[in-house]
């Protein structure tokens, strides 16, 4: 894409960068990645500010291309580029085309009040006139996201002298002039008189005494005997035209070096005798333009893509490795070795000559990596497998990359990879890493854009400053950008489950969870949490039993009754990603959030999101299912025929008792049976496992006791089922909320009693009361304890960190559409129109603030020079290189007569402030006021 003159436009890299940001934003919307919003808006803010800064900085830039000296065919014609109106350093690209078919491209950073003229060498393969036919000056921002073309004043034609062929001068021969013998010619021997000074005369030949007396520059002329002169004649040369011209040029150069007088005689030029630099220069000009001129060669168009140096590649690979670093914590070790091994090998190739991996090797590594990931995860579509595969592909792409386009593609893919880390976590450390990774990748882009960045501002510093200035824009977008309440589409995020509350329960299911201290959810009651005995968090309900496992069933019968027996309590549940639909609700849930349902088993469920989610629920003491579906009651009495006959016989022996007494009989059997609460129970057989547990091992965890008790109740004729969920939770005094971990997973029993409905019975409490009163750890060591021990100093520090994490989750991670509308309503912004209006006003203000700081950074440090910079912006005309303020005022005044009085006043005040012995603040203030009054 070629930028139109005067218009700031995105580069191809900038357009792909914007597309990446938009795609990332769509993903964040769909998967409710709040931190992803933040990173996306930060990158978008940097993209916008880079364009605005370039537009403001480059608006007055003008370029002037000037010839810088003589040139000989086969060399580079020296030119210089003078820049006016550029007060800060910016990457530029200058493309120059010549009349002889040559093309040169210069890339570097330039700008600032003290910036010297940039040298430009234009190849001059042929003698003759050389004209710069076109020059294109393109400025870009530091990261190469935007570019703008600025005008360039072209120089006049220059003469390319022929390349001399070194050779000795021809012998001296007397030559006639008129009727007599020519006795003397211009030469270096004797004084012959004075003549007016001509450009090219040696300063040693200037009569400085005469110049001091009269003020006129005169040059001393000398002569020599005619016998010393040489005639450089076209007739004395042989061969093709260009060879003859080169031989004559060699003779001219030899005569100039030795000071020998000579006359050049070629067709159309009889030639006169002379000596010195000016005479030689005139002779070279005659030879340069001698007909016929050579035909311009056909020059192949060079590729416009750049080849980054080793420093740029090193920066890019380092930034990419840092962006991929979190993969080490969650992908298989073999994938980490393969990915970072490839990056290390690519980096080593920059330091020493090593063979590049062939396409077959790279393709084979990709296939093997994909096959290995598929064997580990069972798919390549989930988050874990997908991000690991993307990291491998990035390393493979880096290994085969060569051009700047490849490096920029790696930067874009690295930014995308960085955003995928939010699927694994959205904590403060993840946020810090992603911001640093984005800064590193943008710094690599700056290093690619400015090849001379090693001698200028480091790319990482430039990226950090731009991201810091984009923070207000990102914060406004984060707060005000409309957030939908649901996803745009639904796809599984991972092929593996992330929590232990499964669709079925077998012996050992919950004891495995008890060793996992990861947070399952946090519950904030806005006040005092419920007592430990009331912290039963209801999850899946298991009603079907086949002798080995308990599973859920879905019944579509009549809705059971729910009668509250106490006041409801509301709380906010912050659920960690788990990949399951269960909403662990305090028993019994009476109100669930929008999008969630309450099943006929009084189980709250919603669609899993795969991300941390916040829900508002309400629970209350209640009688559940006083009127229940007979089919369900019958289902909860069924037992596999012939299974565990001793336990069945025990339960049947209680059948004559009233139902509540049967329950108490079962609990009494457990209390008096010398049972042990343990995480390491013996393995139970496939058949008659209830008998094996009750009359054999007598060692188990909650699922063992719940399964055995439910079996006994069914044998006794009492409908019974198992409820899975969590029990307890640790109160965090730093935030007055409950932390429920995976190790708090628990299973208990519900029995149905006429007139009471489903009644909770916890058989584990009969064995280890501490499981209800304290926690799992206390129940394992002191089963009869009535309370948990006081937390240690380390535990208190951990709770403090968790409080910070919870606050972060509330304010940042959990900032969804509902919370956004609530926050905006508190400041009087209600409705979509008001929200969009507030967003537009905020973006304008934040953008103006960021541009103010950018201008402050780009403005010259000298207050007087800064005032001249402001003057140029108000008039729209930059100061030319070396142009004085007086000349500038006259030039602009001629273009804008209405500004002439104001410009003259600025000129006078500037001179007074600049050259006064002690100008003081008053003079500078008056100068600034005069500049501000210009319109």
Report angle CA 710, 712, 714 to the nearest 5 degrees. Answer: 70
- Cis before 535? omega within 30: no
Q: Give catalytic status of residue 295 as yes or no.
A: no
Token pair for 152: 């360039």
The pLDDT > 90 percentage for the chain reads 34
Pairing of strands 176-177, 180-181: antiparallel
Q: What is the largest CA-CA distance in the chain?
A: 160
pLDDT of residue 738: 93
| Burial of residue 530, with CB atoms counted within 10 A of its CB: 0-12 exposed, 13-18 middle, 19 or more buried | middle
For 848-874, b/e burial (b = at least 16 CB within 10 A) is: eebbeebbeebbbeeeeebbbbbbbbe
pLDDT of residue 216: 78
> What is the DSSP secondary structure assignment for residue 421, as one 8-state letter?
G
Q: Give catalytic status of residue 702 as yes or no.
A: yes
Residues 53, 421, 704, 746: which is the catalytic one?
Answer: 746
Would the pLDDT of 894 be above 70? yes
* Weakest mean pLDDT among 69-83, 454-468, 735-749: 454-468
Q: Ramachandran region of residue 128, left (φ > 0), alpha (ψ -120 to 50) or beta?
A: left
The full length of the chain comes to 935
Residues 201, 587, 762, 810: which is the catalytic one?
Answer: 762
Contacts of 792 (CB under 8 A, 6+ apart): none
Phi (first) and psi of residue 582, to 5 degrees: -75, 135
* Mean pLDDT of all residues belonging to the chain: 84
Note whether 82 and 515 are within 8 A (CB).
Answer: no
* Weakest mean pLDDT among 168-177, 400-409, 501-510: 168-177
Q: Give catalytic status of residue 762 as yes or no.
A: yes
pLDDT 10s digits, 685-710: 888 999 999 999 999 898 899 999 99
Mean pLDDT value of segment 560-568? 92
Would the pLDDT of 44 be above 80? yes
Give the model's confidence band at 1: pLDDT under 50 very low, under 70 low, under 90 confident, else very high.
very low
The helix or strand, by DSSP H or E, that contains position 191, with its residue range, turns out to be: strand 184-196
The helix or strand, by DSSP H or E, that contains position 704, with its residue range, turns out to be: helix 702-715
> What is the DSSP secondary structure assignment for residue 269, as one 8-state letter?
B
* Weakest mean pLDDT among 4-13, 122-131, 628-637: 4-13
The pLDDT > 70 percentage for the chain reads 89
Note whether 584 and 540 are within 8 A (CB).
Answer: no
Note whether 398 and 346 are within 8 A (CB).
Answer: yes
Nearest to 745 by CA among 503, 537, 900: 537
Q: Ramachandran region of residue 579, left (φ > 0), alpha (ψ -120 to 50) or beta?
A: left
DSSP string, 753-782: ETTTEEEEE-HHHHH-THHHHS-HHHHHH-
First-to-final CA distance of the chain? 36
Quote the distance between the C-alpha of residue 388 and its chain's center. Answer: 19
| Burial of residue 544, with CB atoms counted within 10 A of its CB: 0-12 exposed, 13-18 middle, 19 or more buried | middle
Using DSSP's 3-state secondary structure scheme, residue 717 falls into: coil
* Weakest mean pLDDT among 273-282, 736-745, 860-869: 860-869
Q: How many other C-beta atoms can be found within 10 angstroms of the C-beta atom of residue 597?
A: 12
Nearest to 393 by CA among 371, 381, 410: 410
> What is the DSSP secondary structure assignment for residue 694, as one 8-state letter?
I
Give the separation between CA 727 and CA 741, rounded to whole angstroms. Answer: 10
Note whether 622 and 631 are within 8 A (CB).
Answer: no
pLDDT of residue 174: 54
Would the pLDDT of 457 be above 70? no
CA distances in angstroms from 572 to 525, 585, 619, 725, 739, listed in the order given = 7, 10, 11, 17, 12
| CA atoms within 13 Å, Cβ hemisphere of 168 | 3
Would the pLDDT of 630 be above 80? yes
> What pairs with residue 161 in β-bridges?
72
Residues 141, 384, 421, 702: which is the catalytic one?
Answer: 702
Would the pLDDT of 181 be above 80? no
pLDDT 10s digits, 847-875: 777 777 766 665 566 677 777 777 777 77
Give the separation between CA 401 and CA 419, rounded to whole angstroms. Answer: 23
């Amino acid at each position: 894409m070629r930028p139109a003159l005067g218009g700031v436009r995105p580069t191809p890299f900038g357009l792909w960068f914007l597309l990446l940001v938009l795609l990332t934003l769509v993903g964040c919307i769909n998967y409710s990645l709040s931190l992803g919003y933040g990173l996306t808006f930060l990158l978008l803010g940097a993209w916008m500010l880079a364009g605005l800064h370039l537009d403001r900085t480059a608006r007055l830039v003008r370029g002037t291309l000037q010839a810088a000296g003589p040139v000989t065919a086969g060399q580079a014609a020296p030119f210089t580029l003078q820049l006016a109106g550029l007060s800060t350093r910016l990457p530029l690209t200058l493309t120059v085309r010549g009349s002889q078919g040559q093309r040169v491209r210069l890339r570097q950073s330039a700008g600032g009040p003290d910036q010297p003229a940039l040298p430009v060498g234009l190849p001059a393969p042929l003698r003759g006139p050389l004209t710069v036919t076109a020059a294109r000056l393109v400025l870009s921002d530091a990261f190469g996201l935007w570019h703008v073309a600025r005008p360039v004043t072209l120089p006049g034609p220059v003469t390319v002298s022929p390349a001399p062929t070194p050779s000795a001068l021809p012998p001296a021969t007397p030559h006639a002039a008129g009727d007599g013998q020519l006795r003397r010619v211009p030469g270096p021997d004797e004084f012959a008189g004075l003549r007016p000074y001509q450009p090219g005369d040696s300063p040693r030949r200037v009569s400085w005494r005469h110049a001091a007396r009269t003020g006129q520059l005169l040059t001393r002329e000398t002569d020599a005997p005619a016998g010393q002169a040489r005639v450089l004649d076209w007739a004395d040369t042989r061969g093709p035209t260009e060879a003859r011209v080169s031989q004559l040029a060699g003779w001219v150069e030899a005569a100039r070096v030795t000071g020998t007088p000579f006359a050049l005689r070629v067709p159309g030029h009889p030639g006169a005798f002379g000596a010195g630099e000016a005479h030689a220069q005139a002779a070279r000009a005659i030879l340069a333009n001698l007909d016929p001129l050579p035909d311009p060669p056909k020059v192949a168009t060079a590729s416009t893509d750049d080849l980054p140096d080793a420093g740029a590649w090193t920066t890019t690979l380092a930034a990419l490795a840092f962006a991929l670093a979190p993969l080490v914590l969650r992908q298989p070790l073999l994938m980490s070795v393969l990915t970072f091994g490839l990056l290390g090998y690519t980096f080593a190739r920059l330091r020493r000559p090593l063979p590049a991996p062939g396409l077959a090797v790279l393709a084979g590594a990709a296939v093997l990596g994909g096959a290995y990931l598929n064997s580990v995860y069972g798919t390549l579509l989930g988050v874990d497998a997908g991000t690991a595969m993307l990291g491998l592909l990035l390393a493979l792409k880096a290994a085969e990359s060569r051009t700047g386009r490849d490096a920029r593609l790696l930067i874009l893919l690295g930014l995308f990879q960085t955003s995928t880390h939010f699927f694994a976590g959205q904590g403060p450390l993840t946020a810090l890493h992603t911001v640093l990774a984005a800064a590193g990748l943008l710094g690599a882009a700056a290093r690619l854009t400015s090849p001379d960045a090693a001698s200028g501002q480091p790319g990482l510093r430039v990226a950090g400053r731009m991201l810091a200035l984009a923070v207000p824009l990102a914060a406004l977008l984060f707060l005000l950008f409309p957030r939908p309440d649901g996803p745009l589409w639904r796809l599984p995020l991972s092929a593996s489950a992330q929590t232990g509350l499964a669709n079925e329960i077998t012996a050992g299911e919950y004891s495995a969870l008890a060793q996992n201290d990861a947070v399952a959810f946090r519950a904030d009651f806005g006040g005092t949490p419920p007592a430990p005995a009331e912290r039963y968090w209801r999850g899946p309900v298991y009603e079907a039993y086949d002798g080995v496992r308990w599973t859920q069933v879905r019944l579509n019968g009549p809705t059971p009754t729910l009668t509250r027996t106490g006041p409801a309590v509301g709380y906010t549940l912050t659920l960690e990603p788990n990949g399951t639909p269960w909403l662990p609700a305090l028993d019994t849930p009476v109100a669930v959030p929008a999008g969630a349902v309450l099943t006929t088993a009084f189980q709250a469920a919603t669609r899993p999101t795969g991300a941390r989610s916040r829900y508002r629920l309400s629970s209350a003491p209640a009688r559940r299912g006083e009127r229940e579906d007979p089919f369900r009651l019958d289902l909860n009495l069924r037992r596999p025929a012939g299974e565990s006959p001793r336990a069945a016989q025990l339960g049947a022996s209680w059948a004559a008792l009233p139902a509540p007494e049967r329950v108490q009989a079962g609990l009494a059997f457990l209390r008096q049976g010398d049972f042990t609460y343990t995480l390491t129970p013996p393995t139970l057989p496939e058949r008659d496992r209830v008998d094996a547990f009750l009359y054999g091992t007598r060692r188990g965890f909650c699922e063992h006791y719940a399964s055995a008790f439910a079996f006994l109740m069914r044998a006794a004729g009492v409908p019974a089922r198992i409820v899975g969920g969590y029990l307890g939770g640790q109160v965090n005094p730093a935030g007055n909320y409950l932390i429920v971990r995976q190790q708090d997973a628990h299973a208990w029993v519900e029995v149905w009693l006429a007139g009471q409905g489903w009644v909770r019975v916890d058989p584990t409490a009969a064995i280890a009361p501490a499981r209800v009163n304290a926690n799992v750890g206390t129940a394992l060591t002191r089963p009869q304890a009535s309370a948990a021990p006081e937390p240690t100093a380390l535990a208190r520090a951990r709770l403090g960190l968790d409080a910070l994490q919870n606050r972060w989750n509330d304010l940042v991670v959990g900032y969804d559409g509902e919370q956004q509308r609530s926050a905006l309503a508190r400041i009087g912004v209600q409705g979509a129109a008001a929200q969009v209006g507030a967003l537009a006003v905020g973006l304008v203000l934040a953008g103006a603030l960021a541009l103010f700081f950018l201008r402050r950074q780009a403005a010259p440090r000298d207050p007087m020079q800064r005032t001249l910079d402001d003057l140029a912006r108000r008039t729209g005309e930059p100061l030319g290189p070396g142009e004085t303020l007086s000349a500038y005022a006259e030039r602009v005044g001629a273009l804008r007569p209405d500004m002439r009085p104001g410009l003259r006043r600025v000129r006078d005040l500037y001179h007074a402030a600049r050259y006064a012995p002690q100008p003081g603040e008053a003079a500078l203030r008056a100068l600034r006021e005069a500049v501000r009054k210009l319109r």
